[in-house]
Structure 1
Amino acid sequence: MRKPYISGILLAGLILTTALCPRASLQAADQPPNIVFILADDLGYRELGCYGQEKIRTPNIDRLASQGMRFTQHYSGNAVCAPSRCVLLTGKHPGHAHVRNNRSTPPEGQWPIPASEVTFAELLQQAGYVTGAFGKWGLGGPNSEGEPLKQGIDRFFGYNCQAHAHSYYPSYLWDNSSHLQLTNQPAIPGHGSLAADADPKDPLSYEAFKGQDYAPDRINAQALEFIRTHRDAPFLLYYPSVLPHVALHVPDAELEQYTSLGWTDPPFSRAKGFGYTPHFTPRAAYAAMISRLDSYVGRLLDLLDELELSENTIVVFTSDNGTTHLGDEVDYTFFKSVGELRGLKGSLYEGGVRVPAIVRWPHHVAAGSESSRVSGFEDWLPTLLEAAGADSSVPQDCDGISLLPTLQGKSQKPRPYLYREFGGYGGQQSLRVGDWKAIRQDMGKGNLDVELYNLADDIGESQNLAAERPELVQQLTQQMSEVRTPSAEFPLIPLDAPMKERK
Structure 2
Amino acid sequence: MMHQFKNNFKFLPLTIVSVFLLFSTKGLCQSKKNKKKPNIIYIMADDLGYGDLSTYGQEKFNTPNIDALAKNGIKFTQHYSGSAVCAPSRSSLMTGQHTGHTYVRGNQEAANGEKGQIPLPDSTFTIAEMLKQAGYTTGMFGKWGLGFGTGDPNNQGFDEFYGYNDQKLAHRYYPPYLNHNQEIDSLAGNDWTNTQTYAQDKIQEATLNFIEDNKEKPFFAYVPFVLPHAELISPQDSILAKYKGKFKEVPFTAGDKYSSDYGPNIVEYKYCTQEIPYAVFASMVDRMDVYVGQIVAKVKELGLEKNTIIMFTSDNGPHDAGGSNPTFFNSSAGFKGIKRDLYEGGIRAPFIVSWPNKIKSGTTTNHVSAFWDVMPTLAEIADLPLPKTTDGISFLPTLLSKNKQKQHPYMYWEFNIKNGRKAVRKGDWKSVLYNANTNGEIELYNLALDPSESKNIASKHPEIVKEMEQIMKEAHTESLVFPFK
TM-score (norm. length: structure 2): 0.88
Tell me what 2:243 maps to: 258
2:406 paired with 1:421: no
Which amino acid in 1 is paired with 2:209?
Answer: E
Question: Aligned to 1:373, which of 367, 374, 380?
Answer: 367
Distance in 1 between the 2:222 and 2:187 partners? 23
The corresponding residue for 2:59 is: 54
The alpha carbon displacement at 1:57 in A equals 2.1
**Contact 1:430-1:437 within 8 A present in 2 as well:** yes
SS at match of 2:75: strand
Distance in 1, matches of 2:436 and 2:391, equals: 24
Could you tell me how far apart the structure 2 residues matched to 1:318 and 1:259 are? 27
Matches within 5 A, 1:212-223: 212-223=196-207
Distance (whole Å) between structure 2 residues aligned to residue 101 and residue 325 of structure 1: 19
Q: How far is 1:479 from its partner?
A: 1.5
TM-score (norm 1): 0.85
- Alignment counterpart, residue 359 of structure 1, candidates 338, 353, 358: 353
Structure 2 counterpart of 1:336, from 330, 335, 346: 330
Extract unaligned runs of 5+ from structure 2.
Answer: 1-30, 260-270
CA contact (8 A) 1:134 1:157 kept: yes
**Per the alignment, in what secondary structure is the counterpart of residue 67 of structure 2?**
helix
The one-character-per-residue Cα deviations of 1:81-109 (angstroms, maximum 9, x if unpaired) are 00000000000111001011111124521
Counterpart residue number, 1:466:
458
1:307 is the counterpart of 2:302: yes
Q: Out of 122, 137, 159, which is 2:164 matched to?
A: 159
Q: Which one-letter code corresponds to 2:428 in the other structure?
A: D
Contact 1:243 1:293 in 2 (8 A): yes
Deviation at 1:255, TM superposition (A): 1.1
Q: Distance in 2 between matches of 1:302 and 1:28?
A: 29
In structure 2, what is the equivalent of residue 35 of structure 1?
40
> Is 2:480 the partner of 1:488?
yes
Cα distance in 2 between the residues matched to 1:29 and 1:483: 41
CA–CA distance in 1 between the matches of 2:257 and 2:373? 40
Distance 2:143 2:210 in 1: 16
Matching residue's letter, 1:242:
V
What corresponds to 2:320 in structure 1? 325
1:436-487 Cα offsets, whole Å, 9 max, x none, are 011101224x033110000000011010011000011011111211122111
Q: Give the equivalent residue in structure 1 for 2:262.
A: none
Whole-Å separation in 2 of the counterparts to 1:311 and 1:457? 40
1:269 aligns with 2:276: no
How many Å separate the matches in 1 of 2:177 and 2:326?
A: 31
Q: Secondary structure, in 3 states, of the residue corresponding to 2:311? A: strand
Larger radius of gyration: 2
How far off its partner does 1:274 sit?
Answer: 2.1
Is the 1:28–1:311 Cα contact (8 Å) retained in structure 2? no
Distance 1:354 1:423 in 2: 19
State the secondary structure of the residue aligned to 2:458.
coil
CA distance in 1, matches of 2:254, 2:436: 31
Q: Distance in 2 between matches of 1:311 and 1:81?
A: 32
Whole-angstrom distance in 2 between the partners of 1:403 and 1:472: 27
Superimposed CA distance per residue, residues 391-442 of structure 1 (whole angstroms, 9 cap, x where no aligned partner): x1x3212100001001110122332110000012442001100000111012
- Contact 2:51–2:58 under 8 Å retained in 1: yes
Q: Which residue of 1 aligns with 2:428?
A: 435
CA–CA separation in structure 2 for the residues paired with 1:104 and 1:27: 47
Q: What does residue 184 of structure 2 align with? A: 179
Once the two structures are superposed, the pairs formed by residues 208-287 of structure 1 within 5 Å of their partners are 211-253=195-237, 254-261=239-246, 263-275=247-259, 276-287=271-282
| Residue equivalent to 1:289 | 284
Aligned to 1:124: 131
Once residues 96 and 28 of structure 1 are traced to their aligned partners in structure 2, the CA distance between those partners, rounded to angstroms, is 35
* Structure 2 partner of 1:476: 468
Among all aligned residue pairs of Structure 1 and Structure 2, give the percentage whose two residues are the same amino acid. 46
Amino acid at match of 1:132: G
TM-superposed deviation, 1:363:
1.5
| Residue pair 1:66, 1:367 contacting (<8 A) in 2 also | yes
Contact 1:92–1:400 at 8 Å: present in 2 too? yes
Describe the SS at the equivalent of 2:457: coil
CA contact (8 A) 2:393 2:406 kept: no
Query: 1:303–1:28: structure 2 CA closer, same or farther, 3 Å change rule?
Result: farther
Q: Which residue of 2 aligns with 1:77?
A: 82
Distance 1:115 1:248 in 2: 35
Tell me which amino acid in the other structure corresponds to 2:182: S
Aligned 8 A contact 1:133 1:237 in 2: yes
Counterpart of 2:310 in 1: which secondary structure? Answer: strand
Q: Is the contact made by 1:91 and 1:400 (CA closer than 8 Å) also made in structure 2? A: yes
- The equivalent position to 1:95 in structure 2, one of 95, 100, 106, is 100
**Aligned-pair CA distance for 1:186:** 1.8
CA contact (8 A) 1:169 1:184 kept: no
AA paired with 2:463? Answer: E
* Corresponding residue of 1:397: 389
Name the CA distance, whole Å, in 2 between partners of 1:349 and 1:492: 18
* CA displacement at 1:266 relative to structure 2: 2.2
In structure 1, what is the Cα distance between the partners aligned to 2:179 and 2:60?
34
Between the aligned partners of 1:406 and 1:336, the Cα distance in structure 2 is 29
Runs of 4+ in 1 over 4 A off after TM superposition: 26-29
| TM-fit CA distance, 1:340 | 1.1
Counterpart CA distance in 2 for 1:169 and 1:146 is 25
Q: SS at 2:297's partner residue?
A: helix
Q: Displacement of 1:187 after TM fit?
A: 2.1
Distance 1:434 1:125, change over 3 A: same
Question: Is the Cα contact below 8 Å between 1:60 and 1:295 reproduced in 2?
Answer: yes
**Cα offset, 1:184, TM superposition:** 3.3
Range moving further from structure 2, 107-116 or 33-42: 107-116
Alpha-carbon distance in 2 for matches of 1:310, 1:76: 27
Q: 2: CA distance between counterparts of 1:475 and 1:156?
A: 44
Distance 1:211 1:28, change over 3 A: farther
- Written as runs of structure 1 = structure 2, the 5 A alignment for 1:1-16 is none
SS of residue matched to 1:317:
strand
**Displacement after TM superposition at 1:54 (Å):** 0.7
